Amino acid sequence: MKPVRELIFFEHHFHDFYNSQTGRVKEKINQVFFLVTHLERVPDKFLKKLVGHPALYEIRIGYAGDIFRIFCCFDNGNLIVLFNGFQKKSQKTPSKEIDRALRIMNQYFKSK
């Protein structure tokens, strides 16, 4: 199966999050990344646009009752740029994490 999208990492934000996870959570993240890069139509269960933020998306990961989110955006159609990730502890996504993702996204587009 050939990828239809490419993932890139902007700065160190995602790597900091990823490196702090257990081996099993890293495996689950990698599985979801495979789906996001290889499926033509990715279900909302794994990739969803954030309401109220037209350019910001979240990659959604669930493992053993825990919920993880990785913020990202699209660039040039099939390129997904990963920003910060976090473990979600409540129903609502913390505004602090959204603000951080928006700040990183703005830095990404300014650096291009």
Residue 1 falls within a domain, yes or no?
no
- Give the domain CATH number at 69: 3.30.2310.20
The domain of 36 spans 6-111
pLDDT in tens, 41-58: 999 999 999 989 989 999
| β-bridge pairing 66-75 and 79-88 | antiparallel
The mean per-residue pLDDT over the stretch 28-51 comes to 96
Q: What is the pLDDT of residue 42?
A: 96
The mean per-residue pLDDT over the stretch 14-29 comes to 97
Residue 40 falls within a domain, yes or no?
yes
Q: How far apart are CA 96 and CA 88, in angstroms?
A: 12
Q: What's the total number of domains in the chain?
A: 1
Residue 33 falls within a domain, yes or no?
yes
Per the structure block, which two tokens stand in for 59? 């990659």
Q: Is the per-residue pLDDT at 110 higher than 90?
A: yes
Mean pLDDT across the chain: 95
Residue 12 falls within a domain, yes or no?
yes
